[in-house]
Structure 1
Amino acid sequence: MIIDKVAWVRLDDGTVLSTRSRGKDVYYLPGGKREPGETDLDTLVREIREELSVDIVAATARHLGTFHAPAHGHPDGVTVQMTCYTADYRGDLRADHEIEEIVRLTFADRDHVSPVDRVIFDFLSRAGLLR
């Protein structure tokens, strides 16, 4: 089984924006699961508005990569496919809905993120984008 997700990778000064949902013990890149009929961009815009109360500037969205890893908190054999985009945004970041905490992470925080986010952190570090 594959869980199809879309995520926002917001990099600033060698850090990446991340979130922690209520009751969770790891950080996740903001984003979420696609609803029926949604494109990647539709999902990205909706999820970021729901979680962080900001609007993604759709014209600035750029595909960063698609990453795979075992799904955190799911049985063996369940994989997450995370399609990642960078994009500018409008508004002030504010935790909303299930999001309890917004943080900026570096590669040193790799052990505190979900398995698919570890793969993304490795990619960002190799590319010189994450300190």
Structure 2
Amino acid sequence: MRVITVSAICFERADGAVLTVRKRGTSAWMLPGGKPEPGETAAECAVREVREELGVEIALERIEPMGDFETRAANEAGFALRASVFRTRDAIEPRAQAEIEAVRWIVPAIGVEDEAEAPLNREHVFPLLLAELAAAER
């Protein structure tokens, strides 16, 4: 199986909601991000992609690694996905631009059950956020 490598940022609002985006011509909601350019680190790629896709300027030191995950690609049948995911709680005002058609904030407890969310979110990112929330409530 061929592999797509991407970097993404999990933007977390104070109320726990996470930003997801939908690219033009697709149905899956995913974290903002994309494929690296030659010589670009995963973090540099994530920062560049959110600037291009959402008009959001975020400094490298404002994101932290969340994890590296493998799953199936949301919009490319027959492809696996390898994603380096970063996170930040910085407040942002995203604007859908470039290939992004829509943006939405979704609470992980709802998103984990939403089949419109990409496998990366439903299988990895949202369960991790829910586990962190449960641990913090103990």
* Range into which the TM-score falls when normalised by the shorter chain: 0.7 to 0.9
Aligned to 1:44: 46
Aligned to 1:101: 102
CA distance in 2, matches of 1:81, 1:125: 21
Q: CA deviation at 1:88?
A: 5.7
User: Are the aligned partners of 1:54 and 1:90 in contact in 2 as well (CA < 8 Å)?
Assistant: no
User: Are the aligned partners of 2:28 and 2:75 in contact in 1 as well (CA < 8 Å)?
Assistant: no
Aligned to 1:115: 119
CA distance in 2, matches of 1:65, 1:72: 18
User: Are the aligned partners of 1:9 and 1:85 in contact in 2 as well (CA < 8 Å)?
Assistant: yes
Aligned to 2:85: 84
- Structure 1 residues 89 and 52, CA gap change in structure 2 (3 angstroms): farther
Q: CA deviation at 1:91?
A: 6.4
Q: Where does structure 1 lack aligned partners over 5 or more consecutive residues? A: none
Aligned to 1:3: 4
- Structure 1 residues 51 and 37, CA gap change in structure 2 (3 angstroms): same
Q: CA deviation at 1:87?
A: 3.1
Q: CA deviation at 1:96?
A: 0.7
Number of residue pairs matched by the alignment: 128
TM-superposition CA deviations, 1:103-128 (whole Å, max 9, x none): 00122133221111212112211221
User: Are the aligned partners of 1:2 and 1:80 in contact in 2 as well (CA < 8 Å)?
Assistant: yes
CA distance in 1, matches of 2:89, 2:128: 20
SS at match of 1:34: coil
User: Are the aligned partners of 1:49 and 1:55 in contact in 2 as well (CA < 8 Å)?
Assistant: yes
- Structure 1 residues 74 and 91, CA gap change in structure 2 (3 angstroms): closer
User: Are the aligned partners of 2:111 and 2:126 in contact in 1 as well (CA < 8 Å)?
Assistant: no
TM-score, with structure 1 as normaliser: 0.87
- Structure 1 residues 87 and 79, CA gap change in structure 2 (3 angstroms): same
Aligned to 1:27: 29
Identity of aligned residues (%): 31
Q: Where does structure 2 lack aligned partners over 5 or more consecutive residues? A: none
